[in-house]
């Protein structure tokens, strides 16, 4: 039996039946990490002893015949922007190289309560800023499907860990596509919940109005199962929504006949790889065969999404990262002689080039004389983008688009041109600006054997329809 490619249901079932112990399952994944991750670079910290202790506790429950929690014995791993009590938490930055989190993020504590076994912390672009996972201060992550290529970013370690068989599922964060784009590049499933559906408490903030926590898994149903566990109101996050959490996994397998699917013209314009377009069209043909109605729609302000995103996101990053100053929990410059010099040297030495670039951009658009011209205007256009989606969703149940313009690109291919790198997110940033749920799932491979992705976006808090449709897309050829 290959324990490296199990789904959540399969892993939990084996533990529940005592066919495989949680300890054996955990050891198998730890052994694979030790054997293969030197080539991939997905992990920054492996928590071997705590994982084995948790597995032993699950085994004791199973031996007594007690009912097991929903993720009992399932090996998972966490993007290193999620606080994990007593574990090194770096956000992929030298600034937090030695920081040990004093508490758990809400999503992490809910996984723990559900019986999941955390194997460690996953590599990411520094402070979640990047589209290729080449901005990590420690090492780049390589795509398990082709190690000469990027896994996507910023949750590249989270996507690579699932694709490489290091964990059954992972948690990532998505500010402009950072779950969905790596999922597409690595050939796994990545879910963006509605803004407010999953608590951000304990997530190291990049851009507070855009950040989402979500799962990366092997199947759509696994994403649904994980979302059931982590979703829901949290009193410690004032932006989390008090909206009932549906039985998302029950949506997988429901009939999709009669659903109206919108295809936005703006997402299928020049610049989209022909093989991705063809792969999506094949899935649309299959959905027609299942009784879905496919209609052309327009999201007319789409062309402004990238500039709006890189104003709003950098402005919020500039404010959020002001707390990293060398005073308390971050690394401190050793040779500073004054307080001002300590701030300046600590930030200069602690932050990488991409983080500095975004802080400077954000500080500029928030500065006196430029706030109205840039930040205020971007927020006004953000409202227009939101209205575009509201109008479309009066006529359709979901929208289908590409995830990325191309398949995974080569390591180093875009690092010299920030604008070209930013355009990697052209199909994903709008969902974050608008706050709607979405999912990326595989829809085939190109002639080089690289995974291709398809994106489904839904109405606010209608993850049920997104997952229902995604499961249908996953099943059809």
Q: Does 79 qualify as catalytic in the annotation?
A: yes
Residue 328 is predicted with a pLDDT of 87
pLDDT grade for 96, boundaries at 50, 70 and 90: very high
pLDDT grade for 66, boundaries at 50, 70 and 90: confident
pLDDT grade for 17, boundaries at 50, 70 and 90: very high
Q: Of the residues 79, 221, 414, 459, which is catalytic? A: 79
DSSP 336-380: --SHHHHHHHHHHHHS-HHHHHHHHHHHHHHSTTTIIIIIIHHHH
Q: How far apart are CA 399 and CA 388, in angstroms?
A: 12
pLDDT per residue over 284-327, tens digit each? 999 999 999 999 999 999 999 999 999 999 999 999 999 999 99
Domains of the chain, by residue range, sit at 3-251
Q: Of the residues 178, 199, 240, 318, which is catalytic? A: 178
Q: Does 240 qualify as catalytic in the annotation?
A: no
Would you mind telling me the total number of residues written for the chain in this entry? 477
pLDDT grade for 67, boundaries at 50, 70 and 90: confident
3-class secondary-structure state, position 273: coil
* pLDDT over 80 at 158, yes or no: yes
Residue 297 DSSP symbol:
E
Residue 199 is predicted with a pLDDT of 98
Task: State mean pLDDT over 454-458.
Answer: 98
* pLDDT over 80 at 1, yes or no: no
Say if CB 370 and CB 436 are below 8 A apart: no
Residue 290 is predicted with a pLDDT of 98
Q: How far apart are CA 267 and CA 108, in angstroms?
A: 35
More confident of the two residues 270 and 187: 187
Percent share of the chain, pLDDT over 90 = 96
Residue 16 is predicted with a pLDDT of 92
Mean pLDDT across the chain? 97
Q: Does 208 qualify as catalytic in the annotation?
A: no
Say if CB 383 and CB 122 are below 8 A apart: no
Q: Of the residues 118, 154, 155, 424, which is catalytic? A: 154
pLDDT grade for 118, boundaries at 50, 70 and 90: very high
Q: How far apart are CA 287 and CA 47, in angstroms?
A: 43
How far is residue 424 CA from its own chain's centroid? 15
For the chain, helix (H) and strand (E) counts, in that order, are 16, 11
* pLDDT over 90 at 454, yes or no: yes
Task: State mean pLDDT over 454-470.
Answer: 98
pLDDT grade for 2, boundaries at 50, 70 and 90: confident
Q: How far apart are CA 25 and CA 190, in angstroms?
A: 23
Write out the E strands in 317-473: 398-402, 438-445, 451-458
* pLDDT over 90 at 381, yes or no: yes
Q: Nearest 10 degrees: CA dihedral of 320, 329, 236, 386?
A: 20
For domain 3-251, the CATH architecture is Alpha-Beta Complex (3.90)
pLDDT grade for 462, boundaries at 50, 70 and 90: very high
pLDDT per residue over 344-361, tens digit each? 999 999 999 999 999 999
DSSP 180-215: HHHHHHHT-EEEEPPTTTB--TTB--S-TTT-EEEE
Q: How far apart are CA 111 and CA 99, in angstroms?
A: 22
pLDDT per residue over 146-155, tens digit each? 999 999 999 9
């Amino acid at each position: 039996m290959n324990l490296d490619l199990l789904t959540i249901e399969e892993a939990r079932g084996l533990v529940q039946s005592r066919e495989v112990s949680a300890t054996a399952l955990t050891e198998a994944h730890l052994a694979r990490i030790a054997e293969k991750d030197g080539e991939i670079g997905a992990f920054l910290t492996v928590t071997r002893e705590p994982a084995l202790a948790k597995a032993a506790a699950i085994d004791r429950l199973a031996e007594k015949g007690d009912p097991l929690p929903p993720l009992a014995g399932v090996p998972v791993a966490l993007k290193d922007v999620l606080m994990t009590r007593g574990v090194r938490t770096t956000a992929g930055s030298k600034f937090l190289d030695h920081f040990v989190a004093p508490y758990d993020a809400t999503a992490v504590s809910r996984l723990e309560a559900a019986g999941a076994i955390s194997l460690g912390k996953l590599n990411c672009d520094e402070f979640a800023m990047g589209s290729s996972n080449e901005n990590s201060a420690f090492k780049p992550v390589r795509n398990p499907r082709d190690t000469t290529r990027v896994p996507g970013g910023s949750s590249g370690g989270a996507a690579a860990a699932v694709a490489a068989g290091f964990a059954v599922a992972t948690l990532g964060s998505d500010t402009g596509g950072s779950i969905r784009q790596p999922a597409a590049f690595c050939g796994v499933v990545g879910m963006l919940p509605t803004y407010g559906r999953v608590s951000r408490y304990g997530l190291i903030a990049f851009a507070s109005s855009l950040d989402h926590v979500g799962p990366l898994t092997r199947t759509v149903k696994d994403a649904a199962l994980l979302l059931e566990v982590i979703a829901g109101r949290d009193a410690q996050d004032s932006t989390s929504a008090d909206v009932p959490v549906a039985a998302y996994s029950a949506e997988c397998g429901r009939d999709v006949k009669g659903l109206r699917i919108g295809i936005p013209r703006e997402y299928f314009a020049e610049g989209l790889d022909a093989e991705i377009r063809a792969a999506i069209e094949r899935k649309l043909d299959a959905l027609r065969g299942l009784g879905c109605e496919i209609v052309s729609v327009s999201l007319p302000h789409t062309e402004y999404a990238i500039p709006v995103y890189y104003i709003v996101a950098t402005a919020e990053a500039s404010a959020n990262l002001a707390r990293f100053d060398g005073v308390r929990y971050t690394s401190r410059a050793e040779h500073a002689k004054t307080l001002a010099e300590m701030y300046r040297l600590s930030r200069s030495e602690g932050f990488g080039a991409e983080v500095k670039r975004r802080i400077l951009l954000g500080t500029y658009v928030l500065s006196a004389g430029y706030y109205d011209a840039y930040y205020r205007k971007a927020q006004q256009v953000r409202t227009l983008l939101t209205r575009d989606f509201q109008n479309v969703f009066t006529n359709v149940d979901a929208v289908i688009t590409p995830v990325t313009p191309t398949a995974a690109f080569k390591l180093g291919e875009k690092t010299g041109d920030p604008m070209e790198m930013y355009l990697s997110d052209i199909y994903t940033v709008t969902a974050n600006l608008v706050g709607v749920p979405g999912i990326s799932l595989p829809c085939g491979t190109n002639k080089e054997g690289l995974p291709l992705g398809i994106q489904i976006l839904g109405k606010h808090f209608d993850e049920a329809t997104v997952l229902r449709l995604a499961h249908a897309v996953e099943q059809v050829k």
